[in-house]
């Protein structure tokens, strides 16, 4: 069978289209978020926080595996730049066991929560995976 130049051209185009498609499928953009509490929620402490992570993996701290990290809850602070170590205190909480839902004490009043993904060494991953801020109001329980 003879292959015409037009057929070769069509074949080449379909190979390009296939490889572009494969690239798009193999590296979809990761998404990080906080599912709970919802923005502007009024809650009592301790607060249940449920994280969301799409197109990226969760692994315990200390486990070096490409494409994975563990959650940090940052309260009333910005996330650090990529590569910086996330502090450890009551307002920068590490979930190094790979938790995706946690219960955390939060002081009374208005607070802003951010989920930040850190690598196996607790450094903000590159490029940064930081959730949109979620503002909550913590009130005294009955
Ligand atoms: Cu950490």
Q: What is the pLDDT of residues 29-86, one digit of tens each?
A: 999 999 999 999 999 999 999 999 999 999 999 999 999 999 999 999 999 999 999 9
Closest CA to 72 of 142, 128, 3, 140: 128
Within a domain: 50: yes
Span 132-137, average pLDDT: 98
Q: Is residue 19 part of a domain?
A: no
Q: Report how many domains make up the chain.
A: 1
Q: Is residue 47 part of a domain?
A: yes
pLDDT exceeds 80 at position 11: no
pLDDT at 119 over 90: yes
Domain-embedded: residue 106: yes
pLDDT digits (tens, 9 = 90+) for 89-118: 999 999 999 999 999 999 999 999 999 999
The answer to whether residue 12 is domain-embedded is no
3-state SS assignment for residue 61: coil
Q: How far is the CA of 2 from the centre of ligand 1 (A)?
A: 62
Closest CA to 130 of 67, 71, 88, 45: 71
Lookup: tokens for 68: 């994975």
DSSP label at residue 89:
B
The reply to whether 100 falls in a domain is yes
Domain coverage including residue 84: 31-139
For residue 30, the SS3 value is: coil
**Distance in Å, CA 108 to ligand 1 centroid:** 25
Burial class of residue 3 (count of CB atoms within 10 Å of its CB; 0-12, 13-18, 19+): exposed
- The pLDDT score that the predictor gives to residue 27 is 75
Is the pLDDT score of 20 beyond 80? no
pLDDT above 60: residue 15: no
Residue 80 domain flag: yes
pTM (2 d.p.): 0.81
Residues 6+ away with beta carbon under 8 Å from 71: 51, 53, 58, 95, 99, 100, 102, 115, 116, 117, 118
CA of 16 relative to ligand 1 center, distance in Å: 41
From ligand 1's centre to the CA of 19, what distance in Å?
36
CATH number, position 46:
2.60.40.10
Question: Is 26 a member of any domain?
Answer: no
């Amino acid at each position: 069978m003879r292959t015409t130049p037009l057929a070769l051209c069509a074949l080449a185009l379909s190979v390009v289209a296939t490889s572009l498609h494969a690239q798009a499928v193999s590296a979809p953009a990761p998404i990080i978020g906080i599912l709970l509490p919802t923005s502007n929620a009024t809650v009592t402490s301790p607060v249940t926080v449920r994280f969301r992570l799409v197109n990226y993996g969760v692994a315990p701290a200390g486990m070096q595996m490409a494409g994975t990290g563990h959650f940090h809850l940052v309260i009333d602070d910005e996330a650090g730049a990529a590569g910086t170590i996330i502090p450890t205190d009551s307002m920068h909480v590490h979930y190094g066991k790979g938790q995706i839902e946690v219960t955390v004490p939060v002081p009374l009043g208005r607070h802003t929560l951010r989920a930040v993904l850190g690598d196996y060494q607790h450094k903000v991953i590159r490029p940064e995976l930081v959730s949109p801020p979620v503002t909550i109001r913590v009130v005294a329980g009955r």
